[in-house]
Amino acid sequence: MTGPSRRWEDLKARLVSALVMVAVGSVEIWLGGLPFAGLVLLIIGAVVWELARMTSLSGAGRTPLVLGVLAIVSLAGAMWLPSDHAELLLAAPALGLALTNRRDRRISTAYGLAAVMAGYGLIALRDLGMGALIWLVAVVVASDVLGYFAGRLVGGPKFWPAISPKKTWSGTVAGWIGAALVGLGFVLWGGAGWGLVVLSPLVAFAGQMGDIAESWLKRRAGVKDSSNLIPGHGGVMDRFDALIGAAVVIMALGLVLPLPLPGV
């Protein structure tokens, strides 16, 4: 297999997996409440498991599984324990990563903390209503899809070749444009403020940086994918790295600014 054929060789598996994830995710977002929270807990637990496994220096052993379960328990506790300080539990998986033997301890610890915080933000965002969460997911998906096709069809200079050799400037910019169009759609038909057109590419960029951070960790670990749980996409972290970056930035901005989110 050569040239153009090889360029699209993973497309079928990616499409099938994407359709399954979209179907499951759509149902869970529509249901909200405990079903959606349960899905997020499983995703974040899997991400922390993959992260701990990928960065371990002393063999996988049971530590990655323990840290993955700790992420689920900590996130659940932060969401539902009746305490004003329950959110401090979000740091527990990151502390576990910091105290165990692994490469790139600082960035893996920071990434673990970001993953659990993102899970917290996604559940909290859904509790406010479907509009804002659907917008966030749409921004990440549009940025990823347009970036994928533009990068392969247009090509051109690499965005950050030392870390992510497949990512191009054409794909990156196409992702920003797609995100802005998503924001415009929510302004015109979803009743959101015009600031969403500016916020959407910023969130897409945060998602792209989440992808870059994970690519750097994988490159340092010498692996192509964080795991093989999702055909065509690799691991759970490979599929949700951008959403983690986007959700963390939304959480951070929401602490200091009123955001023009749809449905909020």
Other Cβ atoms less than 10 A from the Cβ of 32: the count is 15
Top mean-pLDDT range of 189-193, 218-222, 232-236, 251-255: 251-255
Distance, in Å, from the CA atom of 203 to the CA atom of 222, rounded to the nearest integer, reads 29
Distance, in Å, from the CA atom of 133 to the CA atom of 123, rounded to the nearest integer, reads 9
Upper half-sphere CA count for residue 237 (Cβ side, 13 Å):
31
Which amino acid belongs to residue 66?
A: V
pLDDT grade, residue 31 (50/70/90)?
Answer: very high
User: Exposed/middle/buried for 225, CB within 10 Å: 0-12, 13-18, 19+?
Assistant: middle
- Please give the average per-residue pLDDT across 71-90, as a whole number: 92
pLDDT grade, residue 32 (50/70/90)?
Answer: very high
Mean pLDDT estimate for the chain? 87
H/E element, 183: helix 169-190
The 3-state DSSP class for residue 190 equals helix
Could you tell me the two tokens for 258?
């009123």
Q: Is the pLDDT of residue 10 over 70?
A: no
- The DSSP letter of residue 258 is -
Distance, in Å, from the CA atom of 103 to the CA atom of 130, rounded to the nearest integer, reads 39
Phi, psi of 159 (to 5 degrees): -75, -45
pTM recorded for the entire structure: 0.87
- The DSSP letter of residue 75 is H
Which amino acid belongs to residue 51?
A: L
- Please give the average per-residue pLDDT across 97-119, as a whole number: 92
Percent helix / strand / coil, the chain, rounded to 5: 75, 5, 20
The per-residue pLDDT for 18 is 73
